Amino acid sequence: MDMKREAPWVLEALQAWILENGDVLDARRFETFWRGVRKGVDPLPCPNCFLEGKKQPLAPMDVESGALVQIRPWLCRHCQERFDVPLKDPEP
Ligand SMILES: [Zn+2]
């Protein structure tokens, strides 16, 4: 898995999740925090835990093939929340 390649799609999906469960200010705070994460080095942060003021890592799961797109689920083992990230450029 190329995490640097997928990171922008992960951010997009997590931002959409935050806007559903929080507000624009939360999304902005998360984006600021996200910029400080070294992609490919640091674990990506769980937005659900972030809203509660905690820093917990997301773990990438295996890619699942949906009807139209491939999806990589990211799981937080702390809060058990799962975030489905569509892959924009599916591997053949
Ligand atoms: Zn979490």
Q: What is the pLDDT of residues 21-78, one digit of tens each?
A: 999 999 999 999 999 999 889 999 999 999 999 999 999 999 998 788 899 999 999 9
The domain locations on the chain are 3-86
Ligand 1: centre distance to CA 48 (Å)? 5
CA distances from 44 to 27, 65, 73 (A): 15, 22, 13
CA of 55 to the centre of ligand 1 (A): 8
Burial class (CB in 10 A: 0-12, 13-18, 19+), 74: buried
pTM of the model: 0.89
pLDDT reported for residue 28: 97
Q: Which two tokens stand for residue 60?
A: 């990438």
Residue 78 burial (C-beta neighbours within 10 Å; 0-12, 13-18, 19+): middle
Exposed, middle or buried by CB within 10 Å (0-12, 13-18, 19+), for 37? middle
Q: Quote the ligand 1 centre to 89 CA distance (angstroms).
A: 26
pLDDT higher at 92 or 8: 8
